[in-house]
Structure 1
């Protein structure tokens, strides 16, 4: 209903929500460096923004310490209202987007390199065909990095490996993955489709350095089976693993999807490890505090479809997963 009178609201420096978002991140994290990582920005830009904000406010909002930054008395007083302001703005954006027919916005996905290669290309193609308003940002890293990005809300979705039967409640199981002994073309050890874990005794390996989920599981199983895993080189690079296995006649342990193309082209060989098997699961976790919800759910649903289709091709054992909305609500 029209009142016949406009609300008289005047804004000066309080109208720039981007600067206040930077203020909130720095205040909560206590560090320009960590805030820059969280905001996908850089430290010098944030420093200039805060200096400009303090000039506009006419007072200091932060004091610099040897460990980072701390709020001044004035900064502490406005922290609550600033947080409320940004939360209200986020709720407004979410309400507007929920009324839109098509999901839109940028969705950030964090995952391991061995999963990224087979997944991201198909995900991009599917989103471009079905949801052109969604843009993707992909971050590749180790398991620890992906976990940190999820905790710090730098990613909307995280695709992770999990070992053992249990996993965090908020995560959605996508697939179960066998581990394979990877050898060079023509290698006799990996010619058969399957290989007993005990047959790996004394073989020269290139493996990831600890701490690492696969390395921990492999070492634990080796102790249980009284098998010596002879690690001749440690590395944390998937391309290096493939190159050295092919050229130097060493071995490694990987999921089949990590070497799918090389095995199909005959450049590497893969024998599934059995007796006992060495399995891991692929799970998906959704951040509760980041990007456009409708777009994130659309990307999550597309990932579920693609993982299931890849399972039918033999890349892994797909599951009958719950819907992405169920996973986010857990």
Structure 2
């Protein structure tokens, strides 16, 4: 039965959802610059959108501070209702596009190079088979860079190394990785399956520069054991660390999965560091300023499955790191 007359809506100020999407991003990130990065826009365009929105509202939605922006009284009042409006619009869009039935869209991952070369290929294959409408964007960087991208919401998922026993808030621990002393072909020290940490004393090492999680862990243990780590060169590039070790008779410290192919072709050797072991946790984190969508959840579940399957090969293991890491 049809209604006697159509429902009337007055949606003048609320009609442009793109401007209100920018409003929510600026409010959650506290910065127009960060919101522009998150929305893949530019700062000047976002500023113009915000100015136009405030003119339509007849009042300021934000107050400017030396460290960014914060919601004004009006902005704080309308923020939860605007966010609910956008959430309803997103659900409508998902229903129209069929996303409620199958995940779709692009998911951006921030990865460390040593993890990227191990996870990316099987992840792409799994998504192509199970979630063909989900695409990947991969950003590789150092731990600090990946954390910065995560804070700025430039990535949806970050895969990081963590050191020590305590788990970081809002992160999921996936696996525990042992560290190995990596040496060149036919090297006597790394010919054995294990090597005591104290044997690193005075070795010509190629190590990442500080600040770096592995470097902090190694330096901390070395101080406790009163030995000297002697980097012959500092290099943050994984390919450079491996090539210098293979060709110039240096040593480096890496997880086994970072040198898997080199061990197979015999260009490098690896001995697991013991007494004490140097362990790191592979951790997965989501961007806090984003509500994980179906596509992000699908990718995260595939990453968990891949890490679990790889643990069965011995490339890493699932138990908690030992307390003797010194980190």
User: Which residue of the partner structure matches residue 223 of structure 1?
Assistant: 223
User: Which residue of the partner structure matches residue 143 of structure 1?
Assistant: 143
Alpha-carbon distance between aligned partners in 1 of 2:86 and 2:311, rounded to the nearest angstrom: 41
Q: 2:78 aligns with which of 73, 76, 81?
A: 81
Question: How many equivalent pairs are there?
Answer: 317
What do residues 43-78 of structure 1 show as CA deviations (whole Å, max 9, x unaligned)? 24323434554566677766777655577xxx6524
User: Which residue of the partner structure matches residue 328 of structure 1?
Assistant: none
Distance 1:191 1:91, change over 3 A: farther
Alpha-carbon distance between aligned partners in 2 of 1:92 and 1:302, rounded to the nearest angstrom: 28
User: Which residue of the partner structure matches residue 323 of structure 1?
Assistant: none
- Contact map agreement 1:17 1:86 (CA 8 A) in 2: no
Q: Which runs of 5 or more structure 2 residues have no equivalent in the other structure? A: 321-327
What do residues 276-319 of structure 1 show as CA deviations (whole Å, max 9, x unaligned)? 21111112233454255332222121111111222222211145
Alpha-carbon distance between aligned partners in 1 of 2:301 and 2:67, rounded to the nearest angstrom: 42
- Contact map agreement 2:61 2:75 (CA 8 A) in 1: no
- Contact map agreement 2:159 2:283 (CA 8 A) in 1: yes
Alpha-carbon distance between aligned partners in 2 of 1:146 and 1:201, rounded to the nearest angstrom: 31
Q: Which runs of 5 or more structure 1 residues have no equivalent in the other structure? A: 321-330
User: Which residue of the partner structure matches residue 210 of structure 2?
Assistant: 210
User: Which residue of the partner structure matches residue 93 of structure 1?
Assistant: 90
Alpha-carbon distance between aligned partners in 1 of 2:234 and 2:141, rounded to the nearest angstrom: 17
- Contact map agreement 1:179 1:278 (CA 8 A) in 2: yes
SS in 2 for 1:190: helix
Distance 1:275 1:165, change over 3 A: same
Distance 1:156 1:2, change over 3 A: farther
SS in 1 for 2:170: coil
Larger deviation, residues 220-229 vs 113-122 = 220-229
SS in 2 for 1:161: strand
SS in 2 for 1:303: helix
Alpha-carbon distance between aligned partners in 1 of 2:171 and 2:61, rounded to the nearest angstrom: 38
User: Which residue of the partner structure matches residue 327 of structure 1?
Assistant: none
| Cα RMSD for the two superposed structures | 3.0
Alpha-carbon distance between aligned partners in 1 of 2:30 and 2:242, rounded to the nearest angstrom: 41
TM-score by length of 2: 0.83
SS in 1 for 2:9: coil
TM-score by length of 1: 0.83
Shift of 1:86: 2.8
User: Which residue of the partner structure matches residue 178 of structure 1?
Assistant: 178
Larger deviation, residues 44-53 vs 29-38 = 44-53
Distance 1:32 1:294, change over 3 A: closer
